[in-house]
Chains A and B, each alone.
Chain A
Amino acid sequence: MTAAGVTAAGPGAERLLPHLERIWAVARELGFDPLPTHFEVVPAPVVYEVAAYGLPGRFTHWSHGKAYHLLKTRHDYGLHRIYELVIHAEPCQAFLLESNTFFENLFVAAHVAGHADFFHHNVFFRRAGRDMADLAAVHAERVRRYEYDHGVEAVEKILDAALALEPHTDPWLGDDGAVPPLRPEEPFEDVLFFIQHHAPHLEDWERDLLAMVRAERLYFWPQIRTKVMNEGWACIAHTRILRRLDLPDGDYTEFARLHATIQASSPFTFNPYAVGYHTWERILATRGWDEARFILENEDDVAFLRNHLDQHVAEACNLYIYARQGDQWVIVEDDWTRVRDLLVLSRVRGGFPLIAVVDGDYRGRGELLLRHIFDGRELDLDEARQALAHVERLWRRPVHLETRVDGRDVVLSVPAGEKG
Chain B
Amino acid sequence: MPRGVIDWSLHRKGPVDQARHQEKVRAAIRENLADLITDDSLLTTDGRRVVKVPVRSLREYRFRFSTTRNPQVGQGQGGSRKGDVLARQPAEPGGAGDPHGAGQEPGTDYYETEVTLDELESIFFEELELPNLKPRRQPVLDARRPRFTEVTRAGPLSRADLRRALKENLKRHARRGEARLGPFRREDLRYRSWRDEPRPHARAVVVAMRDVSGSMGEFKKWMSRTFFFWMNRFLQSRYQDVERVFITHHTEAQEVDEERFFHLGESGGTRVSSAYRLALDIVAERYPPDGWNIYAIHFSDGDNWGESDNGLCVQLAQQLAETANLFAYGEINESGYRSPLMTAFERVRHPRFVRVKMTRREDIYTALKTIFRATPEGVEPAAGAGGPATGAGARAAVARDLLPPAPGVTLWARPSARGAPGGPGGGMPCGAGEPARPGSGPGGERP
State the A residues within 8 Å of B (CB). 7, 9-10, 38, 40, 42-43, 45-46, 48-49, 52-53, 57, 60-66, 68-69, 72, 74, 79-82, 90-91, 160, 163-164, 167-168, 224, 227-228, 231, 261-275, 317-324, 327-334, 339, 342-343, 346, 350-353, 355, 372, 377-387, 389-390, 401, 418-420
Residue among A42, A48, A322, A346 with the highest chain B CB neighbour number at 10 A: A322
Is A329 within 8 A of B86, CB to CB?
Answer: yes
Give chain B nearest CB distance to A275 CB in angstroms.
Answer: 8
Q: Are A420 and B80 in contact (CB under 8 A)?
A: no
Contact mask B5-24 → A, CB, 8 Å, 1/0? 11011010111111111101
Contact B82 A334 (CB under 8 A): yes
Interface size on B, residues (CB 8 A): 72
A331's partner among B81, B420, B436 (CB-CB below 8 A) is B81
B85 to chain A, nearest CB (A): 5
Evaluate contact between B61 and A386: CB separation under 8 angstroms: yes
A-B contact pairs, 21 of them (CB 8 A): A45-B11, A80-B443, A163-B60, A164-B60, A261-B443, A269-B436, A270-B75, A273-B441, A318-B80, A320-B80, A321-B73, A322-B74, A327-B88, A328-B89, A330-B84, A331-B83, A331-B85, A377-B66, A379-B65, A383-B59, A385-B422
Q: A262-B443, A273-B441, A330-B86 are in contact. Are A352 and B64 (CB under 8 A)?
A: yes
Q: Interface code B192-213, partner A: CB below 8 Å = 1, 0 otherwise?
A: 0000000000000000000000
Residues of A within 8 A of B21 (CB): 62-63, 65-66, 69
Alpha-carbon distance A270/B74, docked complex (angstroms): 5
Q: Is the CB of A372 within 8 A of B63?
A: yes
Nearest-neighbour CB distance to chain A for B132, whole angstroms, equals: 36
Report if A48-B14 is in contact (Cβ < 8 Å); known contacts: A320-B76, A331-B86, A352-B64.
yes
Instruction: Give the residues in chain B near A266, CB-CB below 8 Å.
Output: 74-75, 445
- Whether the Cβ atoms of B442 and A264 lie closer than 8 Å is yes
Q: A69-B18, A383-B61 are in contact. List 15 more A-B contacts (CB 8 A).
A: A45-B15, A48-B14, A53-B13, A163-B60, A227-B439, A265-B75, A265-B77, A266-B74, A267-B87, A269-B107, A272-B439, A319-B73, A323-B72, A346-B72, A380-B433
Mark B residues whose CB is within 8 Å of A. 1, 3, 5-6, 8-9, 11, 13-22, 24, 58-91, 104, 106-107, 111, 420-422, 432-436, 438-439, 441-445, 447
Are the C-beta atoms of B73 and A320 separated by less than 8 Å? yes
Contacts of A264 in B (CB 8 A): 442-443
Contact present for A60 and B86 (CB under 8 Å): no
Q: Which residues of B contact A324 (CB under 8 A)?
A: 68-69, 89
CA distance A306 to B16 in the complex (A): 43
- State A167–B63 Cα separation when bound (angstroms): 9
- Report B8 CB to chain A, min CB distance, Å: 5
Task: List 5 A-B pairs, minimum CB-CB distance, nearest first.
Answer: A65-B17, A268-B106, A351-B438, A49-B14, A420-B421
How far is it, in angstroms, between the C-alpha of A353 and the C-alpha of B63 when the chains are bound? 7
- Contact indicator B73/A379 (Cβ below 8 Å): no
CB contact between A224 and one of B9, B74, B88, B439 (< 8 Å): that residue:
B439
Q: How far is the CB of B297 from chain A (nearest CB, A)?
A: 36
Contact A329 B63 (CB under 8 A): no
Which listed residue (B8, B82, B89) contacts A43, Cβ 8 A?
Answer: B8
Interface-centre pick from A266, A333, A377, A389 (highest chain B CB count, 10 A): A266
A325 to chain B, nearest CB (A): 9
Residue of B nearest to A91 (CB): B1
A318 contact from B79, B422, B438, Cβ within 8 A: B79
Chain A residues whose C-beta falls within 8 Å of the C-beta of B11 in the assembled complex:
45-46, 49
A273 touches B13 (CB 8 A): no
CB of A66 within 8 A of CB of B18, answer yes
Q: Is the CB of B69 within 8 A of A319?
A: no
Contact across chains for A269 and B82 when beta carbons are under 8 A apart: no
The answer to whether A65 and B81 touch across the interface, beta carbons within 8 angstroms, is no
Report the minimum CB–CB distance from A253 to chain B (whole Å).
19
Give the docked Cα–Cα distance between A231 and B439 (Å): 10
Chain A residue with the shortest CB-CB distance to B440: A269
Given contacts A272-B439, A352-B63, contact A328 B17 (CB under 8 A): no
A329 touches B76 (CB 8 A): no
Residue from the list B19, B82, B432, B447 in contact with A332, Cβ < 8 A: B82
Give the shortest distance, in Å, between B92 (CB) and chain A (any CB): 9
Residues of B within 8 A of A382 (CB): 432
Once the chains bind, are B443 and A81 in contact (CB under 8 Å)? yes
Which residues of B sit under 8 angstroms from A74, Cβ to Cβ?
A: 444
B432 lies within 8 A of A380 (CB): yes
> Are the CB atoms of A267 and B106 closer together than 8 Å?
yes
> Would A383 and B63 count as touching, CB distance under 8 A?
yes
Q: Is the CB of B421 within 8 A of A389?
A: yes
Cα of A66 to Cα of B81 in the assembled complex, Å: 37
Given the complex, which residues of B lie within 8 Å of A418, measured CB to CB?
421-422
Contacts of A378 in B (CB 8 A): 65-66, 69-70
The CB with the most chain A CB atoms within 10 A, among B1, B3, B60, B433, is that of B60
Check B89–A352 contact: CB distance below 8 A.
Answer: no
Q: Which residues of chain A are near B66, meaning CB under 8 Å? A: 377-381
Query: Is B78 a contact partner of A328 (Cβ separation < 8 A)?
Result: no
Contacts of A384 in B (CB 8 A): 63
- How far is B63's CA from A355's CA once the two chains are assembled, in angstroms? 8
Instruction: Determine which of B17, B67, B68, B79 lies in contact with A60 in the assembled complex, contact meaning CB atoms within 8 Å.
Output: B17
**Which residues on the B side are within 8 Å of A7 (C-beta)?**
3
Q: Which residues of B contact A49 (CB under 8 A)?
A: 11, 13-14
User: Which B residue's beta carbon lies closest to that of A375?
Assistant: B65
> Does A334 contact B80, Cβ atoms closer than 8 Å?
yes
Query: Is B438 a contact of A350 with CB atoms below 8 Å?
Result: yes
Out of B14, B60, B76, B432, which one reaches A265, CB within 8 Å? B76
B residues near A43, Cβ cutoff 8 Å: 8-9
Residues of B contacting A231 in the complex (Cβ-Cβ under 8 angstroms)? 441
**In contact, A383 and B64 (Cβ under 8 angstroms):** yes
Complex CA gap A333/B11 in Å reads 48
Task: State which of A61, A269, A385, A386 has its C-beta within 8 Å of the C-beta of B75.
Answer: A269
The CA-CA distance from A402 to B296 in the complex, in Å, is: 59
B13 and A60: CB pair below 8 A?
A: yes
Bound Cα distance A226, B170 (Å): 65
Q: Which residue of B lies closest to A64 (CB)?
A: B17
Most B CB atoms within 10 A — which of A46, A57, A268, A275?
A268
Enumerate chain A residues within 8 angstroms of B78, measured Cβ to Cβ. 318
In the bound complex, how far is the Cα of B64 from the Cα of A339, in angstroms?
20
Bound together, the chains give a CA A53 to CA B111 distance in angstroms of 18
Cross-chain contact B88 with A331 (CB below 8 angstroms): no
